[in-house]
Structure 1
C-alpha cells in the first residue's frame, strides 16, 4: 500500500492552483546562507519601532569615536595634572576632562616623559638665586653687626 504522504498533491476542483503553489513554497527549504543570517529577536510587550523613534532623543544615539591630536592630549593631561595637584581625585579630574580613566592612563603611558634638561636648568637657576640671596643677607647682617658695635662702643 502506498504512503499517502509520498503521494503528489492532486488538484481538485475545490483547490485552486494558487493555493497549491503557496503550499509548495512553504515546504521549500531555506538555503544555507539564509539559515546563517541572524533573525531579529522578537520581544514581547516591546514598543513598536516608530514609537521608540519618537520617544528616544537624538542625544542617545552614540556618535563615532572621538580622536584627539597629540596637542589636545597634552593639554588634557596638563589640565588633569593641574586639577589633581589642586586637590581633586584622579577619577573626578578625568571625568571633568571628559575622558575615561583607561584613556587617561593610556595617554599618560604613551606621552613622552618630561624633558630632564628643563628640570636641570630650573635647579641651576634656583641655586644661583639662593647664592645671591645668601650674600645679600650676609651683607645686611655684617652692616647691622657693625652698627651695633659702634653704638655699644666696642
Structure 2
C-alpha cells in the first residue's frame, strides 16, 4: 500500500524518503578594499538616505568630542586655577572640571599669549598716560612758580 504523497516519488511507506542534498553555495569573496571601508547601514525608513545626508550641514554632524567656546574655556581655566590655589593638585582639579590634562595645558598655552598681550598693551597705555599727566603737572607747577616769583619781586 502506497501513500498518496509518496506515489509520485516512487517510494513506499516502509522505505524512508531519500534526502536530496543541496549544493553548498560559495561565499562571495570581499575585496580588500571592502574590508577597510565598511559601508554605512542602509536606513529602512528613509526614502533616500543620500539626499538626507546632503541636506544636513557639516556643522550639525555631532562628533565624539565636545567643543567649548572661548568663554567656557576661560571659565574652566579660572575654575581650575581656583581649585589649584585652594590646595588641589593639577590632576584632580582638571578631572573635576571634566577635561583631560592635555586639553588643560593646550588651553592654558593658547590663552596665555592673548592675556600677556592685553596686559602689555594696558601697561604701555598706563605709561603713556603717566607721562602725559607728569608733563601737565610740571607745566602747572612752572606757571605757579613763575607767578609766585612775580608776586614776591613786586612786594
Class of the TM-score when normalised by the shorter of the 2 chains? 0.3 to 0.5
TM-score by length of 2: 0.41
TM-score by length of 1: 0.41
Higher RCO, 1 vs 2 (CA within 8 Å, ≥6 residues apart): 1
